[in-house]
Structure 1
């Protein structure tokens, strides 16, 4: 099909041009959770929406320069746990990827008032709030949820289940599973249900039930939701599975003023379903102001190339390659030049690069200064994963589920202050300068390595030098005019261009930008 979307031509410097997204797992962020052992890696650890708001009010995100916060899905997750790591631990839905009821809050992370206050606090600071949402699958049929939802498939004594004998307490041959989501709603390896398919769109990802988002058949509410006393879900006329899911997700935008979604497992859902979600969410967002709704896709393995996802509602896709490009790059110049060659200007798409992820691995904790420099000066958009700025150490994991190590609790009591200061300076500089994300990149020197970024659409321009210390002389011709007032955002030095150069005492990094003339007039240039 040919996509049809409301057009939005972003002005230079719009969020879509320079997204700086802070990704956190709400349960693992704040307040500081109590110590957890290796056997509790899959438990809820106590992070709350109110904890995120507290950090907003303290200025944590503003001082990092981020302009969006990506939080875990706030809607209700499965009530209990499933065996994790091949039976090594109890795996709860602390991450927000095992939905039970899309219409109500998960009270383990907060209430509706908490979410409203978080959004209001962020918006007061010019920070957007994004939700991590799933339209491919609901959560597993766990013991607690099956019992609470009246799906009579549990065997006596199920409350004594352990990760090792969990499945012994479920009668997987029972036709009572029809009282769960129902065969009209999901594919699952259960009596009366269609099994998962063999392609990306119909497979049961990680054994999860697969929503039948491709179906054109009208459906009623899932049986368990029709009985659930606290749900906000109501019957919709002439509605498909897709219609319900989109209505439920867009309702968070309408009711709370959410600014965008990260769409999990994007390649496992039909493209026209994503386009429809974007259209409905855009309409829901209109009552909250002129800022357009923004949609990020998680297409596992995607790099920096443009593809057809951008024609179906996505403003940006996660760049899974940056983590490896950085580790294997011969030089930062090679990396920056390659990325700017594809992303400079406004080619009609963008990607979000990261160095750490809950789906892959944490970047080398001993190399976060260099990695932060590379990420926060990279062309395109960027994603800061919680704790990269503080050197959060990895947590416990099991051989069968190593990604659990990436989801450790935020290290509020053991912050690497030098690393944090470095990330803050770079992040604030990036936020002020769309040229970093969209500007034409030109190398200007290799001793020290220096480059310029200049964005023709906005007139924004910067000069950056790396790996420099002590008295440093940098050529500014072609970027800053003779006599122009400039400032190093890293060291705080201020001065003016003389003879096509600036000379300053550098502190490893120089972030040169145009300065306020009234302040620069009182300063002298280092000779």
Structure 2
């Protein structure tokens, strides 16, 4: 997450101006007292403003020193609007927030109640400075916000100053709330920050460990799910949050040099089974990508308190935690689909006749039982964003992986990023957003792959994602170099360097050699078996590699990966060479080290040594 300035200026303008009574011609909007300033910079003959508060009338902006501005009175709420520059309707370039009115995309302004006070915050020289911003009544604070009891109050400046040197090392999150002396409730203000060595953390120094929680460690057998009757390998297996916590507390991730955990979605998922993509096998929702509840931890994984305990244990170990958030779809049993079917597209089935995955990427359904979210519906888009904010705040996550990015409207990503930025980056603590935009590798020339890079880049920027999984690099090198040996290290070097110069400047990409969507690298490197792409028991699934060759290939791949710039991903189990075919066989239960073979133990020892070297070396982390 990056740019905070433009939107902050817009919202402060909305809040700090005095109110003037006004009436409105549009009876559908309940106006109250309040004023909002809109500005535009540039050369023009005329600049006008038109908005949802009154589409039949424009407001002219006046110019002074190249800055055009107008002040209008509108009530608290969300409003579509456009600027009209010399007759051309344009988005507000200073405001990344977008939305649809009458199926037309517009800029969106979020107007707050100017009577209510606000806070502002910054950290300077280990001093947290909280400013109280009175509402239009000018009344001061009535008391001290929780968490600032030890702070020094300056009545003239209306600031509290807290010395951070007195706090222990780790993550701290203040949720500031107060009323003014007139009884007006301030807008609450979240202040997440780290103290100690972790305060200098940069996401480009990450080593991310991906966990599919149900397939990791069973730390509490009392919450084990019952069998759903799914096909072998496609049912729940009993991994849970307490299992993850135990692994954190054991020091396992520190041994690997891991400083970020990414857990697959944790909301309550569907009961029973659904039909797999082959139309034959039944699969369960153990993976987390079939949500049926927006704000509930799946009891088969644990409780809300157990999730908080897990995140807290990670933070105490200097580890950040990323949630996984599904923005494209829900399961048909989801409460939103049951209560608000108008929030969803009535599209075709992705990949079926006349329903190309690319042409219909925004409205097709992945399966018949996964309704596709229509982000053009404002109530839907705002609700999904509010839910994401709730998960991040309630469980103190540090970032998020966003699923199926290219299958939602662009505004879904920019709006989500903007709101996370505003809510959580109040003192500069960087919340990392990683996207999944599945692409491929189209041949040996850069020109052949420009479309792949451009598509991934489309969703990265100052008010968008911080980075994405590096699909191009994965498809260019993993099989070609490491598992099949078709290409040499010059090929590896070339495409590694393209990942440094083809993506948006300042992005933090996530290179990887294994994930929950592809066959295990150990099985792909087990040449001669021919079963790495099999996924069902009757097909003949890969077994544990019987000689050292496959493990040497995995070590070469991870030796390269962990010395590559970016935030590399270590897929759970790859550290010891877990085997497996295509989904779901690539999602075996994590195996305890007491079951590892000599080759697996040796691979783990070597990968953990490289991980430790990466953790200790700026050169290895940043290239």
Superposition TM-score tier, normalisation by shorter sequence: 0.5 to 0.7
1:431-481: per-residue Cα shift (whole Å, max 9, x none)?
Answer: 222322433xxxxxxxxxxxxxxxxxxxxxxxxxxxxxxxxxxxxxxxxxx
Contact 1:41–1:89 (CA under 8 A) maintained in structure 2: no
1:320 pairs, out of 431, 447, 471, with: 471
Equivalences, count: 367
Q: Where does the alignment leave 5 or more consecutive residues of structure 1 unmatched?
A: 150-177, 217-239, 396-401, 440-527
Go from structure 1 to structure 2 and tell me whether the alpha carbon gap of 1:405 and 1:385 turns closer, same or farther (over 3 Å shift): same
Whether the 8 Å contact between 1:266 and 1:299 is mirrored in structure 2 is yes
2:560 counterpart residue number: 374
Q: Aligned match of 1:22 in 185, 192, 209?
A: 209
Do the aligned partners of residues 290 and 118 (structure 1) sit closer, same or farther apart at CA in structure 2, a change above 3 Å counting?
A: farther
SS in 2 for 1:103: coil
**1:358-392 CA distances to partner (integer Å, 9 max, x unpaired)?**
11222134121111112112232211111110111
| Structural mapping, 1:4-153, within 5 Å | 14-31=201-218, 39-84=231-276, 86=278, 88-141=280-333
Q: Work out whether residues 519 and 580 of structure 2, in 8 Å CA contact, stay in contact via their aligned partners in 1.
A: no
TM-score, normalised via structure 2 length: 0.54
Question: Are 2:511 and 1:360 equivalent residues in the alignment?
Answer: no
| Partner Cα distance (1:87, 1:268) in 2 | 22
Change (3 A) 1:50 1:270: same
Residue segments in structure 2 that go unaligned for 5+ positions in a row:
1-90, 98-121, 123-197, 349-353, 442-451, 482-486, 524-549
Q: Identify the residue that residue 183 of structure 1 maps to in structure 2.
A: 341
- Are residues 1:209 and 2:371 paired? yes
Cα distance change on mapping 1:63 and 1:212 into 2, 3 Å: same
Structure with more relative contact order (C-alpha pairs < 8 Å, separation 6 or more): 1
Q: Distance in 2 between matches of 1:3 and 1:135?
A: 25
Q: Counterpart of 1:518?
A: none
Structure 1 residues 422 and 139: CA distance shift in structure 2, 3 A? same
Report the counterpart of residue 580 of structure 2 in structure 1.
394
Aligned-residue offset at 1:44: 1.0
Match of 2:509 in 1: 351
Cα distance in 2 for partners of 1:431, 1:294 equals 19
Question: Would you say the 8 A contact 1:202–1:210 is kept in 2?
Answer: yes
Distance in 1 of aligned mates of 2:389 and 2:337: 26
Moved more, 376-385 or 318-327: 318-327
With structure 1 as the length reference, what TM-score do the two structures score? 0.63
Matching residue within 404, 408, 411 for 2:588 = 408
Of 239, 254, 271 in structure 1, the residue corresponding to residue 393 of structure 2 is: 254
State the SS of the aligned residue for 1:206.
coil
Query: Are residue 268 (structure 1) and residue 454 (structure 2) matched?
Result: no
Shift of 1:257: 0.8
Which residue pairs with 1:432 in the alignment? 616
Q: Does 1:419 align with 2:576?
A: no
Please name the residue that 2:159 is paired with. none
* Cα pair 1:40 1:89 within 8 Å, conserved: no
Superimposed CA distance per residue, residues 254-301 of structure 1 (whole angstroms, 9 cap, x where no aligned partner): 1111111110100011122111112222344358x7521110000011
**CA RMSD in angstroms, aligned pairs only:** 3.3
Instruction: Give the structure 1 partner of residue 571 of structure 2.
Output: 385
Asked if 1 retains the 8 angstrom alpha-carbon contact of 2:311 and 2:395, the reply is yes
Tell me, in whole angstroms, the C-alpha distance in 1 between the residues paired with 2:499 and 2:344: 40
1:336 aligned to 2:493? yes
State the alpha-carbon separation in 2 of the partners of residues 251 and 282 from structure 1: 14
Alpha carbons of structure 1 residues 179 and 331: separation in structure 2 relative to 1, 3 Å: closer
Conserved? CA contact 1:116–1:256, under 8 Å: yes
CA contact (8 A) 2:580 2:586 kept: yes
Write the distance in 2 (CA, Å) between the matches of 1:90 and 1:38.
5
Q: 1:353 aligns to what SS in structure 2?
A: coil
The Cα of 1:119 is off from its aligned counterpart by: 0.6
- Counterpart of 1:308 (choices 458, 467, 487) is 458
**Maintained 8 Å contact 1:20/1:384:** yes
Is the Cα–Cα contact under 8 Å of residues 196 and 204 in structure 1 kept in the other structure?
A: no
Aligned to 1:508: none
- Is the 1:24–1:386 contact (alpha carbons within 8 Å) kept by the matching residues of 2? yes
